[in-house]
Amino acid sequence: MPQAPSDTLSRRHAAIRYRLTALGLDALVVTSMPNVLYLTNFTGSSAIVVLTADRLLFVTDFRYVAAIDRTRGTAAECPALEIERVDSSYDETLAALLDSLPGARVGFEARHLTVGRHQWLEASLRKRSRVSLVPTDGVVEAARVTKDAFEIAILREGAIRLSHVARQVLQAVRRGQTEREVAAAIDDRLRGGGFEKPAFDTIVASGPNGALPHAQPGERKLTEGDLVVLDFGGVYASYCVDLTRTVSIGASAPRAREVYAAVLEAHDQAIAAVAPGRSRFDIDAAARDALKRRGLAEAFGHGTGHGLGIDVHEDPRITRRRAETPVSAVKSETEGEHRGDQVSPGMVFTIEPGAYIPGWGGVRIEDDVLVTDAGVDVLTNVTTELLEI
């Protein structure tokens, strides 16, 4: 699978170091595995990165040392990576490493370090060094919001592959199949389409189950007259793409066509609202207003979209404006950079309005979009016509 080139990793490191300087930090301990991947190309299950002004210290155990060594000298080598092998435990190795650093203020990812681990590290460092652990929030995630050229190329390819899978799925769905059977077939097609795994648990929700946005596939059979929500995604080269279509089993009823048309208008209006500098709240409002005009405002309860990347749900969140909440003590000064109102070129997110009517069913239509200098590029390419299967 493709990996970020060394020069791309270097630019990512520089961006994080710039943020550390702004925060008055001498180093950052990265324990979130998606963030470790972003900084190093490492796809294993256990590692810690300590990033300083001039070093990248990679803490891992014997299982992954050889894998890291194999990347040396390749186009995807992580620049200036220094392996710190774990001999006893990760936390003991980390404490000894931090104790050896000249800097005193070390940031840690407050969302990704448990209270127990933090307390142990604090106690261990207090005994033998002057290192102060400083909570941060979103330092690496802020950089991940705007995708670089490598990430955009991967997400484009992932969207092309997902669109191909979706077209196969739409041709294969038949009445009489159970939701669970359809979901299993989708997952098989995702793997056959070159995806490492599904990006999340595939959703197949038929008839009244479609009123549940995150319904789990069950033994209900697809029945004449059902609307069926098909929501699935895949992980390609460690990046997630996501798509939803709603189909009719047999001829669609007038009410089904009415609700579908309303959701499609909301989908199209939201995409048309995407442009550099546009508020993410205004993009959400474009979808919400379209549904409100059709009398379906109360049927749309979730946000219009979410960011895509190494995680299937990232910033920016395309959602309603809500009252400001108190600033948490763990939020870093970079908080506003990845939760600001405006979208900008390089951001990739979903547009996925829906309408959910208890006891009747639901409709959701979802595509992946890229904000460009000129406006918006829809990455997924599957018909949005209501298909009667």
One domain, residues 136 and 197: no
Are 333 and 244 in a shared domain?
A: yes
Query: 75 with 38, same domain?
Result: yes
Residues 231, 296: one domain? yes
Residue 384 forms part of a structural domain: no
User: What does the H/E/C string look like for 138-152?
Assistant: CHHHHHHCCCCHHHH
Tell me if 383 is assigned to some domain: no
Residue 279 lies in a domain: yes
Of 85, 118, 143, the one marking the end of a domain is: 143
Residue 196: count of CB within 10 angstroms of its CB: 15
Question: In angstroms, what CA-CA distances link 1 with 76, 96, 298, 327?
Answer: 11, 35, 43, 40
CB 242 within 8 A of CB 368: yes
Shared domain for 82 and 137, answered yes or no, is: yes
Choosing from 119, 143, 167, the residue where a domain stops is 143
78 and 173 both lie in a single domain: no
| Phi and psi at residue 130, to the nearest 5° | -105, 15
Q: Provide the pLDDT for residue 324.
A: 58
The whole-model pTM stands at 0.93
The CATH number assigned to the domain holding 350 equals 3.90.230.10
In a domain, 257, yes or no: yes
Residue 386 domain flag: no
Both 206 and 298 in one domain: the answer is yes
Asked whether residue 33 falls in the same domain as residue 177, the answer is no
DSSP structural state of residue 78: P
One domain for residues 178 and 270: yes
- Co-location of 350 and 212 in the same domain: yes
Q: Is residue 389 part of a domain?
A: no
Residues in the chain where the model's pLDDT stays below 70: 324-339
If asked whether residues 254 and 361 sit together in one domain, one would say yes
What CATH number is given to the structural domain containing 11? Answer: 3.40.350.10
Q: Helix, strand, or coil here: 43?
A: coil
Number of domains observed in the structure of the chain: 2
| Residue 114 and residue 225 share a domain | no
143, 167, 201 — which closes off a domain?
143
Quick one: residue 261, left, alpha or beta (phi over 0 = left, psi -120 to 50 = alpha)?
alpha
Q: Print the domain residue range for 247.
A: 145-378
